[in-house]
């Protein structure tokens, strides 16, 4: 499987949940280090190992391969309570994590008050984002506002206490303004989180130097993106986005390596598209088809359990993703979910309200609610693809469909996933 560069970014190219976890797990077979570079416990990355299912939120999806080092970069907002819960659950399930997990000393801590704030802001908002409620927005707000606390601060309890007191006071004021309450357990949640400080410090590292040294020594590194390209704070469907740079350039910023260290960028796309949370979905299905695809694809959020909205493959978005991430290859997932459909559509452009057709992804998010996708129709293949292990094993129409995705995205397909299992992968 090792037909990818020493330092490869795996990035979601839709609205998240493309199957990044599955692809990272498959590629992790051939690497030494897997690093997360942004986001936090809003992510839900599902990996199947034989009959066992693991849903990873903060720990990189390389953890299920023995011996691989798994890092959380400075770009991550780390929820300590959730992190150690996840860590301990993996250990209980027999995964040996000792010496394998490292957290950047520069990573910001996502505190219990960030979660409270996230929910309070969301419930008071006129325009709801439909966040995962994991405190992501408020944690990045504190980071950008230079009020955040970082892993390194855990080494100086007095300073930490002072900085947290300032943040907490501000949170209380804002909550009052929103007519919301902090809840009685906030202080005890804070105490619990901070009690884990020493444990976190023990595994804290400088991810940039560690990764750079590993690359210099000829080791191989995967950078695991969370969320997806159109959820990127700068390039996504703002304001219906997450609060970090999900796109490939975020991998350099979010781990502390230089951009020239990156050799390959693999974009992960589903063979259709989904979205969870608010915001436009131009190729979204009608209610009946939406329900059908949700059942076929098991499209329920891995973090929140919310139903995901489903739609046809959107090549306006995949081409945009190819450009903004500098993709060198594509991994197409969930092809098998389309096996029983008589016809499959692909959006090649958007018809705007004035009748013009655009093929560049529009910056004006609000206009996306009014566009009519321009679809082309492809015949289905009506045969299972789950046993295919090479392109030659695929039905002719499935190959033609993949060829068209490749052509419209202007990026070569390097992997096709045809099921949840590790073995259900085609390397092109």
Q: Which residues are catalytic?
A: 17, 45
Of 229 and 333, the one with the shorter C-beta distance to ligand GDP is: 333
Q: Give, in degrees to the nearest 5, the angle at Cα 403 between 400 and 405.
A: 115
Select the residue whose beta carbon is closest to ligand IMO and give its number: 277
Cα 270 to Cα 18, 313, 375: the distances in Å are 5, 8, 17
Q: Where are the alpha helices (DSSP H) in 326-364?
A: none
Contacts of 235 (CB under 8 A, 6+ apart): 229, 247, 320, 324
Minimum CB separation of residue 424 from Mg ion in Å reads 18
DSSP label of 300:
B
Question: Does residue 228 touch Mg ion according to CB under 5 A?
Answer: no
Binding ligand GDP (rule: CB under 6 A), the pick from 10, 11, 13, 19 is 19
Question: Does residue 418 touch ligand GDP according to CB under 6 A?
Answer: yes
Binding Mg ion (rule: CB under 5 A), the pick from 39, 40, 44, 225 is 44
Question: Does residue 302 touch Mg ion according to CB under 5 A?
Answer: yes
Minimum CB separation of residue 44 from Mg ion in Å reads 4
- Number of Cβ within 10 Å of residue 312's Cβ equals 22
- Nearest-angstrom CA–CA distance, 100 and 117: 33
Of 160 and 332, the one with the shorter C-beta distance to Mg ion is: 332
- Number of Cβ within 10 Å of residue 335's Cβ equals 25
132 makes contact, choosing from Mg ion, ligand IMO, ligand GDP, none, with CB < 5 to 8 Å by partner type, with ligand IMO
Of 49 and 195, the one with the shorter C-beta distance to ligand GDP is: 49
Question: Does residue 142 touch ligand GDP according to CB under 6 A?
Answer: no
**Interaction site with ligand IMO (CB under 6 A):** 12, 15-17, 42-45, 129-132, 134, 136-137, 226-228, 231, 242-243, 276-277, 302
Tell me if 242 sits within 8 A of 276, measured CB to CB. no
Tell me if 374 sits within 8 A of 349, measured CB to CB. yes
Backbone angles phi, psi at 108, to 5 degrees: -85, 145
| Residues 303-342 interacting with ligand GDP (rule: CB under 6 A) | 333-334, 336-337
Binding site for ligand GDP (CB under 6 A): 12, 16-22, 44-46, 48, 298, 302, 333-334, 336-337, 417-420
């Amino acid at each position: 499987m090792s037909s990818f560069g020493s330092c490869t970014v795996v990035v979601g190219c839709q609205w998240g949940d493309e199957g990044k976890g599955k692809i990272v797990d498959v590629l992790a077979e051939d690497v030494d280090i897997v690093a997360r570079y942004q986001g936090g416990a809003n992510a839900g990355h599902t990996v199947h190992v034989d009959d066992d299912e693991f849903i990873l939120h903060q720990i990189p999806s390389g953890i299920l391969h023995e011996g691989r080092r798994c890092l959380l970069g400075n770009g991550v907002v780390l929820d300590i309570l959730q992190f150690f819960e996840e860590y301990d659950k993996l250990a209980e399930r027999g995964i040996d994590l000792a010496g394998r997990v490292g957290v950047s000393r520069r990573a910001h801590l996502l505190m219990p008050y960030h979660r409270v704030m996230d929910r309070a802001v969301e419930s008071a908002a006129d325009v709801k984002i439909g966040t995962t409620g994991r405190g992501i927005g408020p944690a990045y707000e504190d980071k950008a506002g230079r009020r955040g606390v970082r892993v390194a601060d855990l080494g100086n309890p007095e300073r930490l206490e002072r900085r947290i007191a300032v943040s907490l006071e501000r949170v209380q004021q804002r909550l009052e303004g929103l007519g919301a309450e902090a809840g009685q357990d906030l202080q005890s949640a804070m105490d619990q989180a901070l009690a884990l400080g020493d444990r976190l410090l023990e595994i804290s590292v400088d991810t940039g130097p560690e990764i750079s040294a590993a690359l210099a020594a000829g080791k191989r590194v995967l950078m695991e993106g969370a969320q997806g390209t159109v959820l990127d704070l700068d390039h996504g469907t703002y304001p219906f986005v997450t609060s970090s740079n999900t796109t490939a350039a975020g991998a350099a910023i979010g781990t502390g390596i230089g951009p020239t260290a990156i050799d390959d960028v693999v974009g992960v796309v589903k063979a259709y598209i989904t979205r969870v949370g608010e915001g436009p979905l131009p190729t979204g299905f009608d209610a009946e088809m939406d329900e059908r695809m949700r059942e076929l694809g098991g499209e329920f959020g891995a973090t929140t359990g919310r139903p995901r909205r489903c739609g046809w493959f959107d090549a306006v978005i995949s081409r945009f993703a190819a450009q903004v991430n500098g993709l060198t290859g594509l991994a197409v997932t969930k092809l098998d979910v389309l096996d029983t459909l008589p016809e499959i559509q692909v959006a090649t452009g958007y018809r705007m309200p004035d009748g013009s057709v655009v093929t560049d992804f529009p910056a004006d998010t609000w206009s996306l609610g009014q566009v009519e996708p321009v679809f082309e129709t492809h015949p289905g293949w009506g045969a299972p693809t789950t046993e295919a292990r090479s392109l030659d094993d695929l039905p002719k129409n499935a190959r033609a469909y993949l060829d068209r995705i490749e052509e419209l995205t202007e990026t070569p397909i390097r992997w096709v996933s045809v099921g949840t299992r590790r073995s259900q992968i085609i390397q092109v």
